[in-house]
């Protein structure tokens, strides 16, 4: 018996409500509870976003117990990764070996997801995560990893593809974060999206370091390229600062500017004057005003519980956790092979995008729709309703995702 199974059998782990992710190898019918080991950054550079995701997992566990998703009581133990890959691997290991977690869940950093995914494969447990890098469900895919978030391909297929579809420009330049997620977006845009439009020219890219605060050189290079459309492949605080500086430099006056992952946290900091500019476009993994009944139910329940709106990463983890628990129920336990089989091609529960989203069997990526959004004028903003939704693709597997042959994933 593993230490994890022993702790479960002797009730040695104390669990608190927390976020969602990966499944452990071990109930097999031997315990009355399922323990989720939630790996989420609640401090560090992404602590604010992480806290919102943590609440999404808490709510998932609450609702799972109310609806008996797993056929057993569900608990969750949270560990703070601080968005550090070494720490994340250690806390994930602690959750399995010291807290008796049956599966792992949580996170939205691509590098962290890759690190925990490698551990989950070694330890033979399920890991349900969020992470945009194409590598997670591509050349570095792991059979035990299921990604409930949208990929870099899906994210950039919102704002940039929308701008090109609408004929808003005939040339593209990129400013990209120099790490896995930003590199994935830049490479896909250059190799696939831009060449798929006749007469559209790709003019180049400038990489910027993680944590950069000064984008003046990159903005100058983008402007000097003469591009009609500039794609800022930047996340969180980098997104905020680059958008503010694009406004300060007057870049929005002469260029269409798009960002691939924009949520209410970024919107609150960027400011409505920039968000509502006629040349500002963005992708959103999900938005709380998304017009489906299940999305509205979730958003309302989240607001009632936490007095704030859920982020797209939180929606993904809420659905990812509940779907994993449903698969455990169908498998009648947490034996990894059985749960994995139940998760492949399973529709996400609930359907927060309303497009028949599922975990694809070929790469374990969720087939969720990436929305294209635009900021509302400041006079129309009441609370956190920062955006209007311009486009919600109804068939994201055909319009926003790599084909199974294109992913490079081989289990």
- Which pLDDT tens digits describe the chain residue by residue (411 residues)? 444 544 454 443 334 433 333 444 443 445 689 999 999 999 998 999 999 999 999 999 999 999 999 999 999 999 999 999 999 999 999 999 999 999 999 999 999 999 999 999 999 999 999 999 999 999 999 999 999 999 989 998 888 999 999 999 999 999 999 998 999 999 999 999 999 999 999 999 999 998 899 999 999 999 999 999 999 999 989 999 999 999 999 999 999 999 998 999 999 999 999 999 999 999 999 999 999 999 999 999 999 999 999 999 999 999 999 999 999 999 999 999 999 999 999 999 999 999 999 999 999 999 999 999 999 999 999 999 999 999 999 999 998 999 999 999 999
- Domain 3-150+294-343 identical in fold to domain 153-284+370-407: yes
pLDDT score, position 26: 42
Rg (CA), the chain: 21
Structure tokens at 144: 């035990």
Q: What is the pLDDT of residue 77?
A: 98
pLDDT for the residue 17: 38
DSSP strand pairing (103-105 vs 21-23)? antiparallel
Residue 157 pLDDT: 83
- Give the pLDDT confidence score for residue 6 in this predicted structure: 45
Nearest CA to 76 out of 128, 148, 10 is that of 128
Give the pLDDT confidence score for residue 1 in this predicted structure: 44
Say what the pLDDT of residue 315 is.
98
CATH superfamily of 153-284+370-407: Response regulator (3.40.50.2300)
What pLDDT is stored for residue 158 in this prediction?
Answer: 84
The CATH number of the domain covering residues in 3-150+294-343 = 3.40.50.2300
Question: Which residue ranges make up each domain of the chain?
Answer: 3-150+294-343, 153-284+370-407
Q: What is the pLDDT of residue 16?
A: 42
| Cβ atoms of residues 63 and 323 within 8 Å | no
The two structure tokens encoding residue 186:
């830049």
**Are the beta carbons of 288 and 389 closer than 8 angstroms?**
no
| 175: its two tokens | 């400013």
Task: State the pLDDT at residue 32.
Answer: 87
Place of tokens 């087939």: 367
């Amino acid at each position: 018996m593993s230490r994890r199974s022993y702790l479960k059998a002797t009730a040695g782990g104390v669990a608190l409500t927390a976020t969602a992710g990966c499944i452990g190898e071990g109930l097999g019918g031997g315990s009355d509870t399922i323990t989720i080991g939630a790996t989420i950054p609640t401090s560090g550079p992404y602590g604010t976003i992480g806290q919102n995701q943590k609440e999404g997992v808490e709510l998932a566990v609450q609702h799972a117990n109310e609806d008996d998703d797993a056929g057993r009581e569900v608990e969750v133990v949270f560990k703070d990764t601080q968005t550090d890959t070494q720490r994340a691997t250690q806390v994930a290991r602690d959750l399995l070996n010291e807290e008796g977690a049956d599966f792992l869940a949580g996170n939205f950093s691509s590098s962290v997801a890759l690190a925990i995914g490698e551990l989950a494969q070694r330890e033979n447990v399920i890991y349900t995560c969020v992470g945009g890098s194409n590598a997670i469900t591509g050349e570095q895919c792991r059979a035990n990893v299921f990604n409930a978030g949208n990929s870099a391909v899906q994210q950039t297929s919102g704002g940039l593809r929308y701008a090109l579809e609408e004929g808003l420009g005939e040339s593209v330049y990129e400013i990209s974060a120099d790490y896995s997620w930003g590199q994935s977006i830049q490479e896909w845009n250059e190799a696939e999206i831009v060449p798929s439009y006749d007469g559209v020219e790709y003019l180049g890219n400038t990489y910027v370091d993680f944590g950069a605060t000064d984008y003046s050189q990159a903005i100058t290079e983008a402007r000097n390229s003469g591009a009609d459309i500039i794609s800022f492949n930047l996340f969180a605080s980098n997104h905020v600062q680059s958008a503010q500086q694009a406004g300060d430099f007057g870049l929005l006056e002469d260029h269409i500017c798009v960002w691939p992952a924009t949520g209410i946290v970024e919107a609150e900091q960027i400011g409505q004057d920039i968000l509502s500019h006629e040349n500002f476009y963005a992708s959103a993994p999900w938005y709380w005003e998304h017009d489906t009944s299940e999305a509205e139910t979730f958003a309302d329940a989240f607001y009632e519980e936490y007095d704030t709106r859920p982020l797209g990463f939180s929606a993904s983890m809420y659905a990812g956790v509940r779907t994993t628990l449903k698969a455990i129920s169908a498998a009648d336990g947490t034996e990894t092979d059985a749960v994995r089989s139940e998760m492949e091609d399973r529709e996400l529960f609930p359907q927060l995008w309303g497009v028949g989203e599922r975990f694809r069997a070929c790469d374990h990526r969720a087939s969720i729709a990436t929305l294209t959004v635009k900021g509302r004028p400041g006079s129309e903003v009441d609370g956190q309703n920062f955006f209007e939704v311009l486009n919600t693709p109804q068939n994201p597997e055909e319009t926003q995702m790599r084909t199974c042959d294109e992913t490079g994933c081989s289990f």
